[in-house]
Structure 1
Amino acid sequence: MSDTTTPVLLFVIGPAAVGKMTVGGAIAERTGYKLFHNHMTIEPLLRLFPYESPHFRRLNHAFREQIFAEAAASDLPGLVFTLVWDFDDPADAELVERYAAPFRERGGRVLFLELAADQAVRLERNAGQSRLAEKPSKRDLEWSNGNLVGMDAEYRLNSVDDFAHAPESHLFIDNTRLAPEEVAERAAAYFGL
């Protein structure tokens, strides 16, 4: 078990519809951590502003940074955050560091569970009931499937050697054929959660 006085921030990263929210929920249930999936800030803001607008981006990042700061300063044992990360975009790496900073400043652990799955499986998962319930912006499946395929073609959404400097804080799992609970169990064992 992890030290409950040391806050943990666990990023669950990977491409769209890989199962980040579902696996993050399974980890939260297992550990007592709180799940903060990326659409918890995206969906309310989409009611007001288009995704690509400066208003959306400013508010989305500001809300997240404030939540991370409050969570790190609280008595929460840990926070699980889901994120699609373009490893070729330095701005994404800077954003991850900004999100992690309050945890690092308090001596917390910052961990990365990276998921990968075949595109065909992710397209099936893209229409999953829990995904669509939590993410109304994904309910237009024609658009959402096209977005998933387009992101795969345009961005590098899984790491190569990006975590070579700190392998103890990174775990890569291909969850194409694994149940979320099995992934959560492996992650909890690897990180000692």
Structure 2
Amino acid sequence: MRVVFIHGPAASGKHTIGTLVAQALGIPLFHNHLAVDAALALFEFGSAGFRAMRAAIWSVAFEQAAASGRSFVFTFHPEASVDPALIDALIAAVRERGGEVVFVELLCSPAAVLQRLGQPSRHRFGKLTDPVLYRSIEDSGGFVFPPLPAPALRVDTETLTPEQSAAAIVAALRQR
């Protein structure tokens, strides 16, 4: 059982690349907005209820997938409303059942992030699309997060297309 844990800043291509990786590997994509959107249906982003509900969804997903030996791709945007201990718990849930979590970091410059925020595909998931709001969140420390475990691969999504990025990830996974 393997979790391909794709992380990076907003608009770095996590969903697009994650979808392509999942398709190539024949496993599901558990996009972080599945939990975010469910929690937003009841609570304001970042509130205690929102954080608890999102954490519960992620925890159950990781635990149940690991218990059933179900590999998947997970996308994650490191940001301050996530308790760093939750990431450790997600990793532990997989490893305790003999699975592995493979971290893949997507790299994207701040200028490219700001340019990509307005892409129509971002509206489909209710993602952050306003550059002014993005800068405000960034300036207030909203994207501060401790370093994640060392990635097996770093992919620069400014120099590679989503298809090339996904191909690089799949090739690296198949060599493990």
Q: TM-score, normalised by structure 1?
A: 0.78
2:6 is the counterpart of 1:15 = no
| Cα distance in structure 2, aligned partners of 1:173 and 1:152 | 22
Matches within 5 A, 1:24-173: 24-76=18-70, 78-86=71-79, 91-92=83-84, 94-133=85-124, 135-138=125-128, 141=129, 144-153=130-139, 154=141, 155-156=143-144, 163=150, 170-173=152-155
| Cα distance in structure 1, aligned partners of 2:146 and 2:83 | 16
| Cα distance in structure 1, aligned partners of 2:145 and 2:11 | 12
2:162 is the counterpart of 1:180 = yes
| Cα distance in structure 2, aligned partners of 1:10 and 1:152 | 26
Q: Count the aligned residue pairs.
A: 173
Deviation of the 1:102 alpha carbon: 2.1
Deviation of the 1:66 alpha carbon: 0.6
Deviation of the 1:42 alpha carbon: 0.9
Deviation of the 1:55 alpha carbon: 1.0
Q: CA RMSD in A?
A: 2.5
Change (3 A) 1:180 1:147: same
Identity %: 31
Structure 2 unpaired stretches of 5+: none
Q: TM-score, normalised by structure 2?
A: 0.85
Instruction: For 1:71, give the aligned amino acid.
Output: A
Instruction: For 1:60, give the aligned amino acid.
Output: R
Instruction: For 2:21, give the aligned amino acid.
Output: I
Deviation of the 1:149 alpha carbon: 2.7
Change (3 A) 1:180 1:72: same
Deviation of the 1:146 alpha carbon: 2.6
